[in-house]
Homo-oligomer: A and B are copies of this chain.
């Protein structure tokens, strides 16, 4: 197995082709990690969510980390870690960005749908307003493990 470091451009190309990752946020240095579905474009990860712990924490501390790992055949894998900042996209100020996020995320938001199902279960209501946010990526590193040709 050969492990190669990825350039930022390679990390971006990888993120553009995947949609599920782990979002880490932190409050008073207690980390919290959850699975998210995202769409990556032009240095931003777009997410549609419901209100909950991760939103509360990211409003208080916008520093986040997103980790995405994909495994392939023959034990090959790619793993990217991105540091960035939380930016909420409320309706009045960000109509274009929200529309853009909706379009980008399209039908891939299985995790989001699950989150909504869970909230409906808890609140006995079908009216859960979706919350839009994006992560502005500030730095990325990645490793790719490929079969050794020798």
Contact = CB atoms under 8 A, between A and B. Distances in A.
Interface of A: 1-3, 22-35, 61, 63-67, 69, 75, 77, 79, 81, 83, 110, 114, 117-118, 121, 143, 145
Contact of A1 (B31, B61, B114): B114
Would you call the interface of chain A mostly helix, strand, loop, or mixed?
strand
Given A29-B29, A31-B31, A31-B33, 18 more contacts: A2-B121, A3-B117, A3-B118, A22-B33, A24-B24, A24-B32, A24-B33, A26-B26, A26-B29, A26-B30, A26-B31, A28-B29, A29-B63, A31-B63, A33-B66, A35-B67, A35-B79, A75-B110
A117 B29 contact: no
Given A118-B3, A121-B3, A24 B31 contact: yes
A54 to B, nearest CB: 11
A33 B2 CA distance: 23
